[in-house]
Structure 1
Amino acid sequence: MKKKNNKLRSQDWFGSNDKMGFVHRSWLRNQGYPDDYFRGKPVIGICNTWSELTPCNGHLRDIAEVVKRGILEAGGVPFEFPVMSLGETIMRPTTMLFRNLASMDVEESIRANPLDGIVLLTGCDKTTPSLIMGAASVGLPTLVVPGGPMLNGKFRGTELGSGSFNWKIKEKIETNEFSDADLQEAEICAARSAGHCNTMGTASTMATMAEMLGLTLPGASEIPAVDSRKKLMAQLSGRRIVDMVKENLSMDKVLTRTAFENAIVTNAAIGGSTNFIIHLQAIAGRMEVPLELADFDKLGSQVPLLVNLMPSGKYLMEDYFYAGGLGVVVNELGDLLQDNLTINGQSIKQNYPQATCYDSDVIRTREQPLHPAAGIAVLSGNLCENGAVIKPSAATEALMKHRGKAVVFESMEDYHARIDDPDLEIDKDSVMVLKGVGPKGYPGMPEVGNLDLPKKLILEGVTDMVRISDGRMSGTAYGTVILHVSPESSIGGNLALVCNGDEISLDVENRNLALHVTDEELEARRAQWQPPEPLATRGYVKIYLDHVEQAHKGADLDVLVGKSGSNVDRDLH
């Protein structure tokens, strides 16, 4: 791309020889930086989510050093800075509560500092969307370096998918397949290297999303964290961001409506996480790109599933990388994709001329897909007035059209207290309904929608049931699980009015989720319904509760939607 003569933003801090230029340069000189760091070189911020409390991102300090090397080689000046890191496996009550807070940290850190371009170091589930959201609101030239998945889990001659195996643990314990010693060994084997989950869970989905949005170098999304090519990609990314600044290749030129549409199509083809919906909508909201829940069904639901990875298939991310990765998928999708600009200056379709499939069972063709139409389906009906979603590729075919009686859990506490009660009135045809786990209700919309089944049914051999909630589920999970019901129960959506024994029908083919209760009965129940007490009266959680939007809008804070820009209006020194 042709170079452009644009003034560097950092020179507003470093370029003058007056009092404030002295101030801005002087204190940084205590780090031993030479004079030319402040005299017209592009200043690149490396936004790092490294944390020892975020195991998926525990290697990003090393990756940052490699990115710095690339920046210096290209004539830029690197400054690494920390932002809030979100460890999916550890944080309570849920990292989704803090996604928007982390995005605020990123946005304000970028805008307040003398930065010309940004490298985002991401990995664990929410670190990718939160960093992209924050950077998108500012709009500087920005690229993403994904941290990469773990190597395949190895256990007694079989492969374990970190994440997906977790959802089998209760079943294995209850059926006496696994002893404590077995579980301890599996625990060690499941996560045997640096990196994020090695299934096509949310972390891998988010990395793929970033690449399809055009925010990474080609092939960056699937390289395992410990493969030497991850460091190579990081170094090349450091070089590229310097040129992006010189070209003024800002985020608004990359994150177009076309890029979002391509991401939706590709998410269907890879069997990506349902969490993709809520994060892509939030990013679109920051970019002021119109994107409706219905678009995910319209654009993606009929796309064939090409990638045979857990939880929808049998392989893992390491296998996908060796098989050829995302470039093979892009080329196979062909005319289902449009051309959108990416951060290397080329279009998405130009980025993979040499992509070759090396394992046709891992990456299928459109003529022989794993599933002919596996994209996320968006449901409507009186039980989800503003929509709900289901991932057909992770569901049981026989349950895709189902009618059963509701077994209602008013909260997660209620669920845990009763689910294994032998006297619980529930059978394999029942529909499990969980309330109070939406954006406001929990708060933060946790990944609890794929409820463990009752012990007594597990012992009978039941492996799946229809489950409905206003929460989310892990991208590593599976089952016939209806998620993101909107409006949520805690604000009085019809989900709040469901009672034990009510008939509920699911018809995925016709995109319908219905509560078979008369309007008159629903109105009578609504008149008796009382909203729950506020979950917080101070701090960030209070701000979150006051401003979070519903799931069908991406669950961002209403005050964060849109762009802030990179200008700092006042310098009060």
Structure 2
Amino acid sequence: MKLRSADWYAGESRNSYIHRAWMRRGVPSDAFEGRPQIAIANTASDLTPCNAHLTEVAASVKNGVYEAGGIPLELPVVSLGETNVRPTAMLWRNLAAMATEEMLRANPIDGVVLLGGCDKTIPSLLMAAASVDIPAVVVPGGPMLNGTFRGVPLGCGTDVWRLSEEVRAGTLSQSDFIRSESAMIRSRGHCNTMGTASTMALVAEALGTVVPGVAGTPAPDSRLLEAAHGTGRLAVSLVAEDRRPSTFLTAGSFRNAIVALAAIGGSTNAVVHLLAIAGRLGLDLTLDDFDRIGSRVPVLVDLLPAGRFLMEDFHRAGGLRAVLREVRDLLDADALTITGKPLVDYLDDAPIWDPEVIRPRDAPLVAEGGIAVLRGNLAPSGALIKPAAASAHLLRHRGRAVVFDSIEDFQARIDDPSLDVDASSVLVLRGCGPRGYPGMPEVANMPLPKKLLAEGVRDMVRVCDGRMSGTAYGTVVLHVAPEAAAGGPLALVRTGDWITLDVEARRIDVDVPPDELARRAPDTQNFAAPARGWERLYIDHVQQADQGADLDFLRGSSGAEVLRESH
């Protein structure tokens, strides 16, 4: 097989001379003679603390690539830290994917190892790899170890939401809340709950893009470095066998990812990411597939935010393969992994070591806990709810809307003692979709009114066109599409309207006659104003949540060919 990099390095022309000469800096003399050039797309950054250790992981990948006869080339790519980037990391996911795609295509590389951890990094890397379609494999950075505060394990993210609400309710002092800060993040790695980072690492393995058994390995665990070394070796063989994303990622692969997402009680954010990845591959994945395939799958993993334990416990209890073995009959048996073997081939020797953390199929945490897709006159193109993280008594509910037109409006009024709200009200936050904010921020799990917290209320129905953190919980209807800023019915809801939620019936409706809704004019003054640069491009081209919130001109693979020579 002719290597792609030979288009740069082979021959005696002036151009090949330039390419080789500038890359010679200490590499072996045969580095350009038939040896696969393997990029290591590294999202390490001191400003992405969950990914800061990936440079050490990259060193192990390099060793594996060298050992297998390849040439490793570290390629820093756009890194998105969920906790730091403003206004929201999701605004930049498509930019990170586009920039990585262009760098993979523009450079003389034959394959790539993708190093990601924090929420948007693995999705953006997979979107890029699917678009350029060269051999690619993921090494997830892994979760942090369990931290404790006052003798109780802390779930990073989830316990931020819980403890901050206790402060607002007056049941936890501000000083104790601040004391917990240093215990929240115990080690290197991403969130130790079943948040978006953990979810996307595990889903990427179920999809087939991670070596089976690797996802979920804690970041400080030396077995992660061993796996990174082995993945570097594998990357070289992927090039020899021309195993590209388009050759093994199929509808069956996405079926397995959806089953895994449901069984682990994973983040709702995985839906928008999987839709975007499938779109880059040209596969027809829809919201309805998530409900049809995953909504009746039992939740088997007892992890925060839906359960009790954390990712270190999950790894100890058997990890993803143990979960998938329990739902093996729901998986596509023909769907391949990056190794060339079907996913199901890795499930024979995958016992559950702790049935408290990973439940057997006949004793699930939630019998039917997969993400449910709702439709109705409030969400014609769909909305999501995660029943496993919701309150059972609110899954069928009718309440009076209390509407907020922006995050700023919400923050200004939610704790006003005169706000006309009670425990049965439905909090509605709009202007938070892909266009409206812009970037679809994680604000759907709105804090509850302080006066209701003081009364002991800990959950209410909330409706939003934005997202919520995968570490969050509550009865939250989110990803409402079309969003308010795109002309969706959410823009027409007024305070005092009655909203009906029926998860079993898969409905979310506002009880207003159609002719009355048609007469109403949306209030658009709080939606995102025209901007410059990336934000302008994003607002003009971003698709709705039900299509993955990708840019409309990036759907479908563009391939690896570079049409023009530079010299």
- State the TM-score, normalizing by the size of structure 1: 0.97
Q: Counterpart in 2 of 1:297?
A: 291
Residue 217 of structure 1, aligned match among 187, 211, 227: 211
Aligned partner of residue 433 in structure 1, secondary structure: strand
Q: Residue 520 of structure 2 aligns to a residue in which SS?
A: helix
Q: Which amino acid aligns with 1:393?
A: A
How far the C-alpha of 1:411 sits from its partner, in A, is 0.5
Relative to 1, partners in 2 of residues 1:548 and 1:72: Cα closer, same or farther, differing over 3 Å?
A: same
Give the count of matched residue pairs.
566
DSSP 3-state at the match of 2:380: coil
Picking from 539, 559, 562, the partner of 1:545 is 539
Counterparts in 2 of 1:531 and 1:409: CA distance versus 1, 3 Å: closer
| Shift >6 Å, 4+ stretches | none
Q: How does 1:96-495 map to 2 (within 5 A)?
A: 96-339=90-333, 340-495=335-490
Equivalent residue for 1:55? 49
Query: Structure 1: which amino acid aligns with 2:492?
Result: L
User: Which amino acid in 2 is paired with 1:475?
Assistant: G
DSSP 3-state at the match of 1:38: coil
What is the Cα-based RMSD across aligned positions, in Å? Answer: 1.0
| Per-residue deviation, 1:556 | 0.1
Aligned residue in 2 for 1:89: 83
| Alignment partners' CA distance in 2, 1:525 and 1:138 | 45
SS in 2 for 1:385: strand
**Whole-Å separation in 2 of the counterparts to 1:275 and 1:534:** 22
| 1:517 counterpart letter in structure 2 | V
**Partner AA of 1:33 in structure 2:** V
Q: What is the distance in 2 between the residues matched to 1:65 and 1:224? A: 17
Tell me the distance in 2 between the aligned counterparts of 1:66 and 1:183.
39
CA contact (8 A) 1:213 1:254 kept: no
Unaligned runs of 5+ residues in structure 2 are: none
Find the aligned partners of 2:247 and 2:437 in 1 and give their Cα distance: 37
C-alpha offsets along residues 357-388 of structure 1, whole Å, 9 cap, x if unaligned? 11001111111111110000000000001010
Tell me the distance in 2 between the aligned counterparts of 1:392 and 1:537. Answer: 37
Shift of 1:534: 5.0
Q: Does 1:555 align with 2:549?
A: yes
Query: CA 1:232–1:493 in structure 2 vs 1: closer, same or farther (change >3 Å)?
Result: same
Aligned to 2:236, what secondary structure does the other structure show? helix
CA shift, 1:253, in A, is: 1.7
CA distance in 1, matches of 2:129, 2:523: 41
Q: Aligned AA for 1:477?
A: A
Structure 1 125/136 Cα, relative in aligned 2: closer, same or farther at 3 Å?
same
Question: In the superposition, relative to structure 1, how do residues 530 and 189 fare at CA in structure 2: closer, same or farther (>3 Å)?
Answer: closer
Which range moves more in the overlay, 308-317 or 170-179?
Answer: 170-179
Q: Separation in 2 of the partners of 1:275 and 1:204?
A: 11
CA contact (8 A) 2:41 2:115 kept: yes
Query: Alpha-carbon deviation of 1:425?
Result: 0.3
Amino acid at match of 1:203: A
Q: Which runs of 5+ in 1 are unaligned?
A: 1-5
Shift of residue 532 of structure 1?
A: 5.4
Aligned-pair identity (%) = 55
1:271-320: per-residue Cα shift (whole Å, max 9, x none)?
00000100000000000010011110000000011111111110000000
TM-score, normalised via structure 2 length: 0.98
1:66 CA displacement: 0.7
CA drift at 1:190: 1.1
Indicate the larger mover: 410-419 or 173-182: 173-182
